[in-house]
Structure 1
Amino acid sequence: MKYNRKLKILHFVYDHPDNPWVGGGGALRTWAVNNILSKRHDITVMCGAFPEALNQEKPFKVSFLGKAKNYLESRLKFIWQSRSIDFKPYDIIVEEFSYYAPIFSRFSKKPAVTIIQSNHGFKALNYHPFYGWISIITQYFLLPQRKSVILVSEHLRSAISHKTLISIIPQGADIPDNLPSDSQDYVLYLGRLDVQIKGLDILIKAWSQIPSNLSDTFPLYIAGGGDEDKVFELINLTGAKNVRLIGRLDHNDAMAAIRKAVFLCVPSRMEGSPVVIYEAFALGKPIIGNSIPALKDVVPHGKAGILVPLENSLAFKRAIEMLLTDAKLRLHLSKGAAQLGKEFNWDKIAEKQEEFYFKTANIFYNK
């Protein structure tokens, strides 16, 4: 029997768009896809708790596991309380895989789909010497138990060392109507204020070398939540001029900020497949970033952006300066970005994800 009816889906994701400690791409993808699929399926999302977290009933149900006052407590309760969930009413379990808060979905006795957004490996120790071991243990001991996996980018295949059902389904972009006009008067960084992983030290050091006539004309805007004190410390240490921290933005304000930027900087040392790149392309904005696997998978160098060697702030500075001073190059890359942006539509991505759910369910229920 082919399984293609309305599904009752239980979706675990630690993150949430309003989570003050994360609020990243996993949450954005979960909300974008489930907003679409909830028109055809009954969906419940289970998230990690945070202060002032509110349950949601429509367009899909959102509940929080426990109550938490801090990040560590939130992670631990998410793992622990997920064990007591009654899986019986659901047709399929979906897990946005977290290396630091894994869900034991394989014990649900239901078909389970795991969505992988990143691949930390032993690099996790470079950024979190203690907690990095949790990530390593999770990846090498728990991830191999997953039998049906969605990867958001081709480079993440290296995270899978076992035989499993795999589908590559990229990220997408949700662009609101009636955004302000394209004024192009600043350079933008949009993301979590994590100096090490997001490479803000590379960006700020590069910006400190930009000639003052350019930085005076095109300030650097840094948008996002996180450790602002560390960012200000970097600005003071490097002497970078005309850098403005504008805080964490909601989705509409974030898209407006991208729309008005000249281009986006993505200086990350490690990424899965950042949604902000897809959003930038949808708005016709080129990317300057490091030549890491996640960006090389999505950003064609010289066509929709410029990729430079990792840990090379001078090369990053030269790329910024070149794009600010060469209007023809800027136009060329903007056209390339806009063309790519047409490919990453959440409706198409939700349809592919739905097909994979059905495929997983059919294998499970017809074996």
Structure 2
Amino acid sequence: MSHQRRFVRPSVVMVGPHPHRVIGGISAMINLILDSELSRRFEIEHFPTVVAGSKRQKAMVALRALLRFTWRLLARPVSAVYVHVGGDVSLYRKSAFILIARLLGKRVLVHYHAGHFESYYRSRSRLGRWYLRRVLRSSRRLLVVSRCLKEAMHRILPGAHVRVLHNAVHQAALVHGEIRTDADRLRVLFMGDLSGPKGIHDLLAAMPRIVARAPQVRFLLCGRGDVASIRHHCQQRGLLPFIEHIGPVPLSERGEILRRAQVFVLPSYEEGLPVSLLEAMAVGLPVVSTWVGGIPEVIVDGVNGFLIPPGDVASLTERLLVLVTDPGLRHRMARANRVRIAREFNVSRFIAQLADHLTAVMGRSGDAEDQREHHLRFPTPRRWVPIEPIDHDMG
């Protein structure tokens, strides 16, 4: 009697925000991972730790996730624990998962997405800094989204196994039709939290001069934040007729609003590698952004966008005016962005590199930085099914 050897996929327990009920870059990357070929090579179980809702609801979701996570590690073998971490509070919240996994002898891969770790770390107490170092050193490997963040991590954690894994986007799902270079109403898109760190107040300060010189311009201000305050500010300054949208955009409408725009602006003060910027590049939008985080690793000043110092409203105004008044330049930058995303920030490359990192953490062969080419072939992907039904009343 012959026996066939059955391939057993290595098991990966992943921790991070809910891929559909939280809007943000980390959720976008988790959704990309769960909907990719990676689930054919690894058995991936995702434990959502954050959903949209009140502080009490978020605390209950996090506590329930921690209990389920601990039980899962005790119940069955796990090849690796993969933890997504944002900034500030997220690191402390995820530290419980990281330390429990290490206490139970599991191998941990930490994926740090925020861009301001060093300044946050320096602002902590001596005990707080010790705790953050202890948590991050508990991982077998630490992934970051930009080279500058890798350098910052090495300054704080000398000798740590830090690797760069740039974010990626599904370009084919975002792109429809030809690049638009002209429109009766030329739209400038801002997509991010409507908050100071994202530079929304600098954009508001630049708007009066822009609409005075280019009255055909309309603004799309898309994101969470104090919408009422921003609307009041615009009303007081006579800017409301030039604004087509203020506030959040459902995930289902994200691609549509990207395709409506002709220019993308994100004058942030701190960043990792913003997914919204990569999405804008994927659909062919020229970019005006800042010299922070991983943005200069994606935007070459004057080639596929413009970079300015954070807080420089005069430069922000000037660069936006150049783009809205020069259709030829917009066209050239748009094509450069679509080509760059297709070559360097595509899903296949991201998944291949992530697979190498997971394999290395498990102690098997393969290392993303030691291999120049990635030749992973997987069967057709299937969509993720939650481990247990999600309580939609908590969102």
CA 1:208–1:299 in 2, change beyond 3 Å: closer, same or farther? same
3-state SS, counterpart of residue 301 of structure 2? coil
Runs (5+) with no aligned partner, structure 1: 52-68
* Alpha-carbon distance between aligned partners in 1 of 2:283 and 2:299, rounded to the nearest angstrom: 14
Residues 46 and 265 of structure 1, relative CA distance in 2, 3 Å threshold: same
User: Residue 224 of structure 1 aligns with which residue?
Assistant: 223
1:165 aligns with 2:161: yes
1:300-332 Cα deviation digits (max 9, x unpaired):
111111011111111101111111112222122
Alignment of 1:175-190 (within 5 A): 175=171, 176=173, 179=176, 182-183=179-180, 184=183, 185-190=186-191
- Of 245-254 and 143-152, the range deviating more from structure 2: 245-254
Match for residue 40 of structure 2?
A: 39
Unaligned runs of 5+ residues in structure 2 are 1-6, 366-395
Amino acid corresponding to residue 179 of structure 1 in structure 2: H
Counterpart Cα distance in 2 of 1:229 and 1:134:
40
Which residue of structure 2 aligns with residue 155 of structure 1? 148
The alignment of Structure 1 onto Structure 2 pairs a total of residues equal to 336
Partner SS for 1:201: helix
RMSD: 3.0
1:86 equivalent in alignment to 2:49: no
State which drifts further: 182-191 or 163-172.
182-191
Give the letter aligned to residue 12 of structure 1.
V
Distance in 2 (alpha carbons) for counterparts of 1:227 and 1:125? 28
Q: 1:302 to 1:134 in 2, by over 3 A?
A: farther
**Alignment check: 8 A CA contact 1:15 1:26 kept:** no
Partner of 1:339: 339
1:13 to 8, 12, 16: 16
Match of 2:116 in 1: 120
Q: Which moved more, 1:326-335 or 1:110-119?
A: 326-335
Aligned CA distance change for structure 1 residues 330 and 352 (closer, same or farther; 3 Å): same
Please give the per-residue CA displacement for 1:326-347, whole angstroms capped at 9, x wherever unaligned: 2222122112212211121112
Question: Alpha carbons of 1:121 and 1:134: their partners in 2 closer, same or farther (altered >3 Å)?
Answer: farther
| 1:122/1:136 contact within 8 Å kept | no
Counterpart position of 1:253: 253
Q: CA deviation at 1:213?
A: 5.2
Once the 2 structures are TM-superposed, how far is the Cα of residue 262 of structure 1 from its aligned partner?
0.9
- Asked whether the 8 Å contact 2:282–2:337 carries over to 1, the reply is yes
Cα distance in 2 for residues equivalent to 1:132 and 1:260: 46
Give the aligned partner of residue 372 of structure 2: none
Equivalent residue number for residue 352 of structure 1: 353
| TM-score normalised by structure 1 residue count | 0.81
Moved more, 199-208 or 247-256: 247-256
- Which deviates further from its counterpart, 101-110 or 27-36? 101-110
Relative to structure 1, the CA distance from residue 247 to residue 180 in structure 2 (aligned partners, 3 Å threshold; closer, same or farther) is: farther
2:174–2:283 contact (8 Å) kept in structure 1: no
Kindly indicate whether the alpha-carbon contact (under 8 Å) linking 1:205 and 1:240 is maintained by their aligned counterparts in 2.
no
Q: How many Å separate the matches in 2 of 1:121 and 1:41? A: 30
1:107 maps to what in 2?
103
Flag the structure with larger Rg: 2
Give the CA deviation at 1:229.
2.1
Letter in 2 for 1:14: P
Q: Is 1:71 the counterpart of 2:16 in the alignment?
A: no
Give the counterpart of 2:84 among 96, 102, 112.
Answer: 96
TM-score, normalization: structure 2?
0.76
Report the more deviating stretch, 228-237 or 266-275.
Answer: 228-237
Q: Offset at 1:297?
A: 1.9
| Pair 211,74 (structure 1): closer, same or farther in 2 beyond 3 Å | closer
Q: Paired residue for 1:235?
A: 234
CA apart distance, 1:165:
2.4
Note if 1:263 corresponds to 2:263. yes
Residue type of the alignment partner of 2:146: S
1:272 aligned counterpart, secondary structure: coil
2:119 & 2:228 partners in 1: Cα distance? 25
- Name the CA shift for 1:224/1:132 in 2 (closer, same or farther; >3 Å): farther
Is the 2:167–2:350 contact (alpha carbons within 8 Å) kept by the matching residues of 1?
Answer: yes
1:207-261 CA-to-partner distances (Å, cap 9, x unmatched) read 12214352x3120111123321232244245554512325322344212222221
Question: Which residue does 2:363 correspond to in 1?
Answer: 362
Give the CA deviation at 1:125.
9.6
Specify which structure has the bigger relative contact order, considering alpha-carbon pairs within 8 angstroms and separated by 6 or more residues: 2
**How far off its partner does 1:180 sit?**
6.3
Q: Structure 1 stretch 299-308 or stretch 133-142: which is displaced more?
A: 133-142
C-alpha change, 1:246 and 1:95, in structure 2 (3 Å) is same
